[in-house]
Amino acid sequence: MIYIVLGVIAVLALVVVSMYNGLVKARNLVKEAFSTMDVFMKKRYDLIPNLVETVKGYASHEKETLDAVISARNKAVSANTPEGQLQAEGELNQVMSRLFALTESYPDLKANTNFLDLQNQVKEMETEIAQSRRYYNATARDYNNMTETFPSLVVANLFGFKQYPMFEITNEVERENVRIQF
């Protein structure tokens, strides 16, 4: 009888250890995915001041929009939590769409090779960011599912595993299509 009890305890211990290790692996995948997304976003942050400076030469009286872009970029750079980063990114996306919409009024700017090169770099970076966001959301979804489903829910609560936020568009304005023609 004692061997049966010890066997059941050993099996339960193995199940708990296995679930714990699975949660740790899933959490590390989420952290890796966020880090990858963060690298691409930082590259974009580095491009934004160059883009703004190029636009400034043509649209000097559009100071409010240009200042908003730099302000949103700085806020995104200084965000130090995933939630803060996600919110700041939403704001940055919104003002970047205003910046590109602004360029419609300046035909010389649309023909400037520096601007076109920077715009293409930002476009490529946006593609990379979008792909990394999808990967982050997929890993966060899988991890969050593990923390919410039984029996791993018990292990997650026992060891303090917390959910990760999904990268979502939170502002209705951001959901609207921005029409940009170059």
pLDDT at 49 over 90: no
pTM as predicted: 0.75
For residues 80 and 173, the model is more confident at 80
Mean pLDDT of the region 124-150 = 94
* Confidence band of 171 (pLDDT split at 50, 70, 90): low
pLDDT at 158 over 70: yes
Least confident stretch, 35-44, 71-80, 161-170: 161-170
The vertex-90 CA angle with 88 and 94, nearest 5°, equals 115
- Mean pLDDT of the chain, nearest integer: 85
Nearest-CA neighbor of 151 among 18, 10, 7, 42? Answer: 18
Give dist(CA 55, CA 1) in Å, integer.
80
